[in-house]
């Protein structure tokens, strides 16, 4: 199961005009591994995460999911088809949920499986019920997102992503927009995914959470990976001065 390169990023670079946001980043995530990306604001964490599913394509470098290159150079039409295909295998959860307000919870979860996998209404309903049960929101299936709390919205967003049966899940500060008392319910869902050996890449400002669920932590600053290693090393015995400075400001203890 493990020790198998699952997500591979090679020599990733990204610039906006003269601004270099990512500089020669390499990262390998094995199947079932959970990697946290931490770092100061503007260090390129979101950009790196969004490069993995081509939301923000790299300027140069490669992104692979198993044996498929995600950022393949292709003629426009083929590229679109390719990207739409590979994105089905990559779930993403955003800071601001990005639920579809005009659809119920059920509609949010079933839209993509129905359109892309041709599920029947009954099968899609069953899928929605399963995924909602997983995030503990079965009773909200017919609510509109506007009627949910932030924590519930984020759990629905996770259920929506999981309904596509992704191979890997990307989280971009999934709890940053939540009131403090709602953070835990989302963290719990993510921990549960960890126990099920979902491969995850998690951008977070919550060091305690990163320390408790992740196998590896990447510290990024100014577009480079300054240091990476198991949480025990990064959080308790970092080698780099920059990492220590950052953690001094962010560790809650």
Partner 1 sequence: MGLDFTVVPSYFGVLLMGAGWTIAITICAGLLSFFGGIVFAVIALYGHWSLRLPFRGFAFLFMGTPLLLQLFLIYFGLIQIGIDLPAFVAGVIGLGLHFAVYNSELIQASILAVDKGQYEGARTLGLSRGQTLRKVVIPQAVRAVVPPMGNNMIALLKDSALVSVIGVMELTLAAQQAISRTYRPFEFYLAAAFCYYIVNLALEAGLRRLERRIAASR
The answer to whether 47 touches 20, Cβ cutoff 8 Å, is: no
The answer to whether 43 touches 223, Cβ cutoff 8 Å, is: yes
41 binds, among ligand ATP, Mg ion, partner 1, none (CB under 5 to 8 A by kind): ligand ATP
* Closest separation in Å from C-beta 220 to ligand ATP: 7
| Phi, then psi, of 81 in degrees rounded to 5 | -60, -45
x-or-dash pattern for Mg ion, window 38-57, by CB under 5 A? --------x-----------
Q: Which of 1, 3, 18, 41 binds ligand ATP (CB under 6 A)?
A: 41
Site for Mg ion in 155-184 (CB under 5 A): none
Count the neighbouring beta carbons within 10 Å of the beta carbon of residue 148: 18
Q: What's the rounded Cα separation, in Å, for the pair 75 and 154? A: 36
Element (H, E) at 34: strand 34-38
Q: Which of 66, 126, 147, 165 binds partner 1 (CB under 8 A)?
A: 147
Q: Which of 8, 46, 154, 175 binds ligand ATP (CB under 6 A)?
A: 46
44 touches ligand ATP (CB under 6 A): yes
153 touches ligand ATP (CB under 6 A): no
154 binds, among partner 1, Mg ion, ligand ATP, none (CB under 5 to 8 A by kind): none
Sequence-separated (6 or more) residues with CB below 8 Å from residue 155: 135, 136, 137, 185, 186, 189
């Amino acid at each position: 199961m493990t020790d198998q390169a699952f997500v591979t990023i090679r020599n990733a670079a990204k610039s906006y005009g003269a601004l270099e946001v990512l500089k020669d980043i390499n990262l390998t995530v094995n199947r079932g591994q959970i990697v946290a990306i931490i770092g100061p604001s503007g260090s390129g964490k979101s950009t790196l995460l969004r490069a993995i599913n081509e939301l923000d394509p790299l300027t140069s470098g490669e992104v692979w999911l198993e044996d498929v290159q995600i950022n393949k150079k292709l003629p426009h039409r083929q590229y679109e088809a390719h990207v739409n295909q590979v994105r089905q295998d990559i779930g993403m959860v955003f800071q601001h949920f990005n639920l579809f307000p005009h659809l119920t919870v059920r509609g949010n979860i079933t839209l993509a499986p129905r359109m892309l996998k041709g599920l029947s209404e009954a099968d899609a309903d069953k899928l929605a019920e399963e995924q909602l049960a997983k995030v503990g929101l079965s009773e909200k299936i017919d609510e509109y997102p506007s009627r949910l709390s932030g924590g519930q919205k984020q759990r629905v967003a996770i259920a929506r992503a999981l309904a596509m049966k992704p191979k890997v899940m990307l989280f971009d500060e999934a709890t940053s927009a939540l009131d403090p008392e709602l953070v835990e319910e989302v963290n719990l869902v993510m921990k549960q995914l960890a126990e099920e050996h979902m491969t995850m890449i998690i951008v977070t400002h919550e060091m305690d959470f990163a320390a408790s669920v992740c196998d590896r932590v990447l510290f990024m600053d100014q577009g480079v990976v300054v240091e990476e290693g198991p949480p025990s090393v990064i959080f308790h015995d970092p080698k780099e001065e920059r990492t220590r400075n950052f953690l001094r400001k962010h560790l809650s203890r």
